[in-house]
């Protein structure tokens, strides 16, 4: 049995930051448990290695959702990183924090300390923004010298340039910095890379801390449940090398297992909706109805064009020479196509002019993105590019539920995409705008045909899907999930298209699912990510984000896996908001408080106790 001050579950984007900050002072013993292996696979470092990582069984949880009603009953593929660095080790590296409005909105919902003014210092502190002296006004929004390196592209695919030009021809503004004064517009993403290699959170935050004697990292250690003394989290039971082991926490157990892993672990531990827990024979520890609820994700819809200049990435035999050149350039100088994150350009736009801020995002990728990257066959046949549109503030809410009490069994993930007419309508508007951009003159040299396979009508969209009278014929607004109950009869984009096969995929930006500061009372309190009703336990990852916003997952609090821990623990280790050092900077109880709480609790009548009742049953 091992005892530490802090036990962190999940060595992903958030867990790496936590491990660094909590071990920085040297005062506390910290244990980091990561289910996956160490991050030594070379594809993690190579930015272009995203596709093999998406397909990796070892480094990716490769979740699937339950069949999605509004998407033709298709289950959606949900990649999630399973290694040190977590999803930051397999993601697309786009550095997008979100719109200032998003944070101010969170604050207005009762999340004290989450306004843009509050979080900006943490963003600046964590960054080393390479373009800070190049972009006018960048110093107001960016930092230098921080552990997360943010770079410009070393190579830009000509298709990306065509996109940025075409979008301007279609009337969109250009922006040089999506995280600066103006998010709206089109441009090139900045990327979390250093010297042509991925800068995952394991690289940026964990690696510098690995030599500290007070930090222990165990990989291949999958937490099976949180151990409780009554309602106080006291440690973690985990599976390592085929055997169960336990680690106890003197101060706190911190769950950073991601928006799926953390609620799953809470449910396995008896924290969540009582009926669901009991249904699987797990002894309830604390009834918290919000656990597993409120899951949110971005859904992408694609327009794909076959391309004639052959700048697209392809596995076509004709691209062999180009691939060898790219390999050579990368190996001898970290330059060329292998340094690209695939989604190099994109933009933020409004689904309609009345929106106060952009609510749609574009990413252009220089290939056919088929079946969530699972189906590579079209890559052998075609040179093509895909413009992906996602709606940034979905109203639809899904959930994560237990499939079984077996900690190794996958949870049931229901994203519940397109459950509201607004989500559908916004995506359709984005789709139409995307198509308009691709039809501009700047794309003329590249364009050949909207989706190559549309010729055989196998994979819509194709030109046969156009604006027109509503497919239900009566001018009524058809329900979002019209497909497949009411398959497209005509040539109408409005509601047939988004529900059809192959055009949508999850955008891998899941968040929440552990509640939030809501009356159901599951989540973070006072901006410090404590789970109410339980001492000594805290959530700190993408699941902590209270409401989906206009960013991707990693840099922003989708997305807060970096800023959530930074904000909850006061980034900088033991500093208060004013930057003064303080022993309570980590938000943990002061020495002795937990013991006092346990003693006080023991004096309470049975049934009212919250702590000190002994460890719960272990699996
Ligand atoms: C393919 C893809 C592309 C993306 N592109 C971008 C992008 O371009 N820009 C961006 O900002 N965001 C992007 N994201 C989203 C972003 O990477 C995530 O939102 C973010 O990394 C989530 O951080 P997290 O700390 O919440 O979870 P994660 O980083 O996923 O970390 C969770 C960790 O917990 C571990 N774990 C889970 N369960 C257990 C357990 N029981 N015991 C022990 N360990 C456990 C996991 O193995 C993992 O390492 C992308 C995500 C994916 C999957």
Q: How confident is the model at residue 250 (pLDDT cuts 50, 70, 90)?
A: very high
pLDDT at residue number 452: 54
Decide if pLDDT at 1 tops 90: no
pLDDT of residue 511: 59
The CATH number assigned to the domain holding 562 equals 3.50.50.60
Nearest-CA residue for atom 37 of ligand 1:
257
Q: Which atom of ligand 1 is nearest to the CA of 53?
A: 1
Residues 357 and 465 in one domain: yes
DSSP secondary structure string, 173-190?
A: PB-S-TTSS--SEEEEPP
User: 306 and 269 in one domain?
Assistant: no
The predicted structure's pLDDT at residue 510:
61
Q: Is 117 helix (H, G, I), strand (E, B) or coil?
A: helix
Strands 611-615 vs 221-230: parallel, antiparallel or unpaired: antiparallel
Q: Which ligand 1 atom sits closest to the C-alpha of 341?
A: 8
Give the structural domain span for 592.
2-42+201-296+510-602
Ligand 1 centroid vs 387 CA: distance in angstroms? 24
Whether residue 63 is contained in a domain is answered as: no
Q: Which residues contact 548 (CB under 8 A, 6 or more apart)?
A: 296, 297, 298, 392, 393, 394, 509, 511, 512, 558
* Per-residue confidence (pLDDT) for residue 587, from 0 to 100: 34
Same domain (yes/no): 292, 303: no
Distance 262 CA to ligand 1 centre (A): 11
Do residue 488 and residue 580 come from a single domain? Answer: no
How many structural domains comprise the chain? 2
pTM: 0.84
| Cβ within 8 Å of residue 502, ≥6 positions away | 370, 371, 459, 460
Residues flanking ligand 1, CB < 6 Å: 9-15, 33-36, 54, 79-82, 86-88, 90-94, 96, 222-223, 256-259, 261, 265, 508-509, 541-542, 552-555, 558-559, 561
- Is 106 part of any domain? no
**Same domain, yes or no, for 531 and 545?**
yes
Mean pLDDT on 345-365:
96
In the chain, pLDDT over 70 holds for what percent of residues? 72
Question: From the CA of 446, how far away is ligand 1's center (Å)?
Answer: 35
pLDDT tens track for 11-62:
999 999 999 999 999 999 999 999 999 999 999 999 999 989 999 999 999 9
DSSP tag of 619: -
- What's 476's domain CATH number? 3.30.410.40
Comparing CA positions, the residue from 510, 480, 524 lying closest to residue 413 is: 510
pLDDT of residue 509: 60
Q: What is the pLDDT of residue 244?
A: 97
Q: Helix, strand or coil for residue 85?
A: coil
Q: Taking a C-beta distance cutoff of 8 angstroms, is the pair 143, 123 a contact? A: yes
Q: Pick the last residue of a domain from 478, 503, 528.
A: 503
Is the pLDDT score of 265 beyond 50? yes
- The stretch 596-605 carries a mean pLDDT of 54
- Asked whether residue 385 falls in the same domain as residue 444, the answer is yes
Q: Is the pLDDT of residue 521 over 60?
A: no
Shortest CA distance to 246 belongs to which of 2, 11, 10? 2
Average pLDDT over the chain reads 80
Clarify whether residues 471 and 517 are in a common domain.
no
pLDDT at 448: 74
Q: Are 295 and 430 in contact (CB under 8 A)?
A: no
pLDDT of residue 255: 96
- Could you tell me what percent of the chain has a pLDDT over 90? 62
pLDDT tens-digit readout, 430-477: 989 998 999 899 999 887 766 655 454 333 455 555 554 333 333 333
For residue 481, what are the contacts with CB-CB under 8 A and spacing of at least 6?
69, 70, 418, 419, 499
Q: Are residues 534 and 466 located together in one domain of the fold?
A: no
């Amino acid at each position: 049995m091992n005892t530490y001050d802090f036990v962190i579950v999940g060595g992903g984007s958030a867990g790496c930051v936590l491990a660094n900050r909590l071990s920085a002072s040297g005062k506390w013993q910290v244990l980091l448990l990561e289910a996956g292996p160490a991050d030594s696979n070379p594809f993690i470092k190579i930015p272009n290695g995203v596709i093999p990582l998406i397909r990796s069984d070892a480094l990716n949880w490769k979740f699937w959702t339950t069949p999605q009603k509004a998407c033709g009953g298709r289950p959606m593929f949900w990649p999630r990183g399973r290694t040190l660095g977590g999803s930051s080790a397999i993601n697309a590296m786009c550095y997008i924090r979100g719109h200032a409005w998003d944070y101010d909105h969170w604050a207005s919902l009762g999340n004290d300390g989450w306004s843009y003014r509050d979080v900006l210092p943490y963003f600046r502190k964590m960054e080393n923004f390479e373009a800070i002296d190049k972009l006018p006004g960048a110093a107001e929004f960016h930092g230098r010298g921080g552990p997360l390196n943010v770079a410009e592209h070393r190579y830009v695919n000509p298709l990306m340039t065509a996109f940025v030009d075409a979008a301007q021809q279609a009337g969109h503004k250009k922006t040089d910095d999506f995280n600066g004064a103006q998010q709206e517009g089109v441009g090139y993403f900045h990327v979390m890379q250093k010297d042509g290699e991925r800068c995952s959170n394991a690289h940026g935050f964990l690696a510098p801390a690995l030599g500290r004697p007070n930090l222990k990292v165990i990989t291949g250690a999958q937490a099976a449940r949180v151990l409780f003394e009554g309602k106080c989290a006291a440690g973690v039971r985990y599976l390592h090398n085929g055997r169960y082991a336990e680690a106890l926490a003197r101060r706190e157990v911190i769950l950073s297992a991601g928006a799926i892993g953390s609620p799953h672990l809470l449910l396995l531990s008896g924290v969540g909706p009582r009926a669901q827990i009991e249904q699987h024979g797990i002894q309830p520890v604390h009834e918290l109805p919000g656990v597993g609820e409120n899951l949110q994700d971005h859904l992408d819809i694609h327009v794909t064009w076959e391309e004639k200049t052959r700048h697209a990435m392809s596995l076509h035999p004709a691209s062999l020479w180009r691939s060898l050149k790219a390999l050579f350039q990368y190996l001898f100088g970290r330059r060329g196509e292998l340094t690209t994150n695939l989604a190099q350009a994109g933009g933020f736009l409004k689904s309609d002019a009345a929106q106060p801020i952009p609510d749609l995002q574009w990413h252009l990728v220089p290939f056919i993105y088929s079946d969530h990257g699972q189906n590579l066959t079209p890559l052998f046949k075609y040179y093509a590019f895909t413009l992906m549109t996602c709606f940034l503030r979905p109203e639809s809410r899904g959930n994560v539920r237990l499939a079984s009490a077996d900690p190794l069994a996958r949870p049931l993930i229901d994203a519940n995409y397109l459950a509201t007419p607004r989500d559908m309508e916004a995506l359709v508007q984005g789709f139409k705008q995307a198509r308009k951009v691709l039809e501009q003159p700047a794309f003329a040299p590249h364009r050949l045909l909207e989706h190559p396979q549309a010729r055989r009508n196998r994979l819509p969209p194709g030109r046969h899907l156009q604006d027109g009278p509503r497919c239900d014929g009566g001018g009524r607004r058809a329900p979002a999930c019209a497909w497949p109950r009411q398959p497209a009869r005509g040539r109408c984009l409005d509601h047939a298209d988004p529900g059809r096969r192959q055009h949508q995929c999850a955008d891998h930006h899941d968040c929440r699912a552990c509640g939030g500061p809501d009356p159901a009372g599951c989540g973070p309190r006072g901006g410090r990510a404590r789970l109410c009703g339980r001492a000594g336990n805290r959530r700190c990852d993408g699941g902590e984000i209270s409401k989906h916003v206009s960013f991707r997952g990693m840099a922003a609090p989708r997305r807060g896996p970096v800023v959530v821990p930074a904000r909850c623990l006061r980034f900088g280790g033991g500093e208060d908001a004013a930057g003064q050092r303080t022993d309570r900077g980590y938000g943990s109880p002061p020495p002795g408080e937990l013991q006092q709480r346990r003693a006080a609790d023991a004096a309470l009548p049975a049934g009212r106790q919250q702590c000190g009742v002994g460890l719960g049953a272990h699996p």
